[in-house]
Amino acid sequence: MLEGKAYAKINLTLDVTGKLENGYHSIASIMQTISLHDEISVEKNSAGEIRLFADGGKFVKDMPLDEKNTCHKAASVFLEHAGISDGVDIYIEKNIPSQAGLGGGSSDAATVLRLLNRFFETKLSYDELRKLAAKVGADVPFLVTGGCALCEGMGEILTPIENGLTGYVLLKKPEFGISTPEAYRLFDEKKLPYGNSSKAVMNTVINGGSFHGLLSNDLERAVANPEILMLKEEIVKLGGSDSLMTGSGSCVYGLFENERLAQHAGRLTREHPTIGVYEPVSSEEVIRS
């Protein structure tokens, strides 16, 4: 059996840049992996099937354990590509909440691809794994190696950013969730202008600047939830350098230079459940996990 960590991501920027013929939207987004993670294990089975098992974690409830799960799809895509007829068992310990914008299901799928590549010694390159990941879901190619990167198109065009996020990340999630299709529907319904900030932010950071004051999320503007906006304001008042809804939400994060201050802010915003305080994770750490 092989085990690995599936790290969550946050969006430091998220521009909706257009709408494609297939109905999906194109984006430009700077993503960063953080230390919140699910635990994934894989092993071969004699049944010749892909089988999923919920192996604990805080958010395992209502997680599908069939073809609807991204782990199942990732395993199917990998085995078909590699010409492997063996079955695999996948065990998931779920610590990343769903409908939060943290990429939990996508990261689980990316981790399955990495683990199966090692388990079956197929020696596919990370570029090859990312091509397979693009068949599974939009955030999956980035999460194959994680770290910090500008993700464009449907998330499959990656430009790594070496000097990524530093400090600590407080995660707060309102009781409600937001589905990705609903967030994009609201964006279209409100006829919001397409964003174009991500490349400029990337260039600023590459040239030695920081992310401070540069965070943006077009889907946050689309959702425009008063509870999310108030939570962001509270986090900044309590010492966060910045705060933003990640992805399609509903999770909100705050950036802090000091871990103790981040924990303090989490306690004082107690009307919203705290997921925890985490640190950025580099692509080297993701690959080693």
C-alpha to C-alpha distance for 113 and 75, rounded to whole angstroms: 7
Q: Is 73 a catalytic residue?
A: no
Q: Is 135 a catalytic residue?
A: no
Closest C-alpha to 122, from 86, 93, 155: 86
- In the numeric block, the tokens 């990370």 are attached to 126
Closest C-alpha to 84, from 41, 132, 156: 132
Given 9, 73, 172, 173, which residue is catalytic?
A: 9
Using an 8 Å Cβ cutoff, are 170 and 274 in contact?
A: yes
- In the numeric block, the tokens 């999956």 are attached to 140
Given 15, 38, 108, 139, which residue is catalytic?
A: 139
* Cβ neighbours for 227, distance < 8 A, ≥ 6 positions apart: 174, 176, 272
How are beta strands 50-54 and 168-172 bridged, if at all?
A: unpaired
Active-site annotation, residues: 9, 139
